[in-house]
């Protein structure tokens, strides 16, 4: 699967988060809602997800993988 460029994902994720915050402040503003929905859709397409929340989480994981932060399992003891 081809993955989008990280700078493109970062830019769209930033726009999504900005419009999301503004939507919390002005939920009745149609222009804000339209921009939020457009950025959410674009993020969904970029990340191959069906919902904006899943797309945002996938984008964050793609940009900053948590695998390096996960503890490694303890090695098995020999002879026990």
Torsion of CA 37, 41, 14, 12, to 10 degrees: -140
Q: How many domains does the chain have?
A: 1
DSSP for the chain reads: -----HHHHHHHHHHHHHHHHHHHH-TT-HHHHHHHHHHHHHHHHHHT-SSHHHHHHHHHHHHS-SGGGSPPPPPPPTT-
Asked if residue 71 belongs to a domain, the reply is: no
Which range of residues forms the domain containing residue 29? 6-64
Asked if residue 17 belongs to a domain, the reply is: yes
Is the pLDDT at 70 greater than 90? The verdict is no
Asked if residue 74 belongs to a domain, the reply is: no
Other CB atoms within 10 Å distance of the CB of residue 57: 13
Asked if residue 76 belongs to a domain, the reply is: no
Q: Is the whole-model pTM more than 0.85?
A: no
Asked if residue 44 belongs to a domain, the reply is: yes
Query: What is the mean predicted confidence (pLDDT) over 29-48?
Result: 97
């Amino acid at each position: 699967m081809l993955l989008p460029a990280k700078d493109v994902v970062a830019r769209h994720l930033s726009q999504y988060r900005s419009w999301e915050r503004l939507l919390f402040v002005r939920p009745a503003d149609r222009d804000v809602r339209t921009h939020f929905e457009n950025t959410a859709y674009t993020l969904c397409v970029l990340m191959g997800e069906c919902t904006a929340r899943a797309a945002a989480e996938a984008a964050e994981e793609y940009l900053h993988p948590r695998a390096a932060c996960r503890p490694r399992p303890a090695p098995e003891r020999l002879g026990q």
